[in-house]
Amino acid sequence: MTRVPPLDRLGRPLGVLRLSLTARCNLACPYCLPDGVEPPGLLTLRQRLAVIEAAVALGAGSLRLTGGEPLLHDGLEALIAAAAPLRERGLREIALTSNGVLLSAERARTLRAAGLQRITLSLDGTTGESVGRMAGAGGADPGERARRGQVLLAKVLAAIEHARAAGFDPRRGELKLNAVIQRGVNDDQLLPLAALGRERGLELRLIEFMDVGTRNGWQPETVLSAAEMVDRIGHRWPLEPRGRGAHGTASRWRYGDAGTGGSGSTGGGAHLAVVASVTAPFCGDCNRLRVTADGIAYTCLFAAPGSGLDLRPWLQPQPDPVGLRQALADRWRRRQDRYSEERQELWQASAPQHPTTSRHAEMAYLGG
Ligand code: SAM
Ligand code: SF4
């Protein structure tokens, strides 16, 4: 019998499962600020696989593994290998988002061999000082921050090459860079980051600083809009709009000098992308389900803590696949969140307060 994938109240299908494997991180980026401790009751591999199977049965074609820092999780490769056969049931891609600090050459190879298809590495600067500041390294001492940032930068640059050598090809979109840009904090890194992406043949995805969580001191003034990012980079290198794909988060641009004999890269570095979740929200076709490391399902990145659906009743003591699928389908059908669009509507009406949710679950818990 063919099952009809559920649509939510706004007609949105389920397309992506973002599964967080740990809430812990080896960095302390001030815009994210992870807890440092794991929530109790982490899911086992078998339980995670049951969640992935249920999401795939409901239409999810993309699995994105995240955290906290997912490379801290020893069961990562085993989970990827266990999920890979779900390709026969509609899972098209298994992807990882990581800060890259622990991505050795060996780890990149084992991840590839397990069945990982894409890696997005996060890097918010190109100098020791900027990387240290954005990673929350070295405390208040500027010298120590720059020194530690330099070590982190070297590790992430090496991780890019380890991933490439292991077969993650940026020309096929299998290796990309994420950077969060905060006005007045690291916006001086925009051009150097764009230059890095071009030189290394990587698509750079610039993300607006978002009001996820409650600890990162977010204020509207701290957001550098995606439009301004594109404008600044476009003054240095010509950019042609390529649009945002259906259900995508990123609007893409192509460097005008790419592939024309100019100095621009023709590989993944031919493109720049911006994620304008604050200034140009894309809730209208959001197809993402988020499940935390302890098995709580959220349908919005800006959800309030405690508002998620606890999946453990269908996972313990043994997974109940039918009950789990039904519970997730019911939850998805009731979904009507569109936080970023509501926030924008309030701004346009000059109402400075946040919409429906004033407290948000933390980013490292939700997994981005
Ligand atoms: N630790 C991994 C990493 O940093 O890539 C994976 C988890 S992290 C929560 C996922 C993504 O969310 C990263 O690219 C990170 O830069 C981004 N992120 C975290 N906090 C953010 C915020 N307040 N605004 C925008 N992006 C944020
Ligand atoms: Fe860690 Fe990623 Fe959060 Fe930075 S953004 S603290 S690397 S989970």
Higher pLDDT, 177 or 352: 177
Query: What pLDDT is attached to residue 76?
Result: 98
Residues linked to residue 122 through DSSP beta bridges, in sequence order: 178
3-class SS at 32? coil
CA 83 – ligand 1 centroid, Å? 24
* Tokens (6 digits) for 341: 């669009």
Average confidence (pLDDT) over 243-262? 87
Cis status of the peptide bond prior to 6, with omega within 30 of 0:
no
Q: What is the pLDDT of residues 112-164, one digit of tens each?
A: 999 999 999 999 999 999 999 999 998 889 999 999 999 999 999 999 999 99
Would the CB of 365 count as within 6 Å of ligand 1?
Answer: no
Would the CB of 299 count as within 6 Å of ligand 1?
Answer: no
Nearest 10 degrees: CA dihedral of 217, 221, 225, 230?
Answer: -110
Would the CB of 68 count as within 6 Å of ligand 2?
Answer: yes
Selection from 213, 206, 185, 293 nearest residue 251 by Cα? 206
CA 5 – ligand 1 centroid, Å? 29
Query: What pLDDT is attached to residue 358?
Result: 59
| Protein residue whose Cα sits closest to atom 8 of ligand 2 | 68
What residue ranges define each of the domains in the chain, with the CATH number in brackets?
Answer: 1-98+286-368 (3.20.20.70)
Query: What pLDDT is attached to residue 100?
Result: 98
Contact criterion met (CB below 8 Å) for 39 and 292: yes
> Which ligand 2 atom lies nearest to the CA of residue 97?
2
Q: Is the pTM for the entire model greater than 0.85?
A: yes
Would the CB of 368 count as within 6 Å of ligand 2?
Answer: no
> Which ligand 1 atom lies nearest to the CA of residue 209?
24
Q: Given strand 309-310, what is the order of strands in its sheet?
A: 239-244, 251-255, 271-275, 203-208, 175-181, 118-122, 93-98, 62-66, 16-20, 288-291, 296-298, 309-310
CA 185 – ligand 1 centroid, Å? 16
| Protein residue whose Cα sits closest to atom 3 of ligand 2 | 32
Query: What pLDDT is attached to residue 339?
Result: 86
Sign of CA dihedral 258, 263, 264, 265: positive
Would the CB of 186 count as within 6 Å of ligand 1?
Answer: no
| β-pairing verdict for 118-122 and 93-98 | parallel
Would the CB of 153 count as within 6 Å of ligand 1?
Answer: no
Position of tokens 């197809």? 287
Selection from 205, 352, 351, 346 nearest residue 271 by Cα? 205
Average confidence (pLDDT) over 238-252? 94
Q: Long-range contact list for 351-357, CB < 8 A, 24+ apart? A: 352/220, 354/211, 357/302, 357/303, 357/304, 357/307
Under DSSP, the state recorded for 355 is -
What's 102-134 look like in SS3? CCCHHHHHHHHHHCCCEEEEECCCCCHHHHHHH
Q: Where are the beta strands (DSSP E) in the chain?
A: 16-20, 62-66, 93-98, 118-122, 175-181, 203-208, 239-244, 251-255, 271-275, 288-291, 296-298, 309-310
Q: What is the pLDDT of residues 293-339, one digit of tens each?
A: 999 999 998 888 888 999 999 999 999 999 999 999 999 999 999 98
Ligand 1 pocket test, pick from 27, 180, 183, 343 with the greatest ligand atom count within 8 Å of Cβ, gives: 180
Ligand 2 pocket test, pick from 73, 122, 207 with the greatest ligand atom count within 8 Å of Cβ, gives: 122
| Protein residue whose Cα sits closest to atom 17 of ligand 1 | 368
CA 66 – ligand 2 centroid, Å? 10
At 238, the amino acid letter reads P
> Which ligand 1 atom lies nearest to the CA of residue 34?
9
Residue 351 — pLDDT band, cuts 50, 70, 90? Answer: low
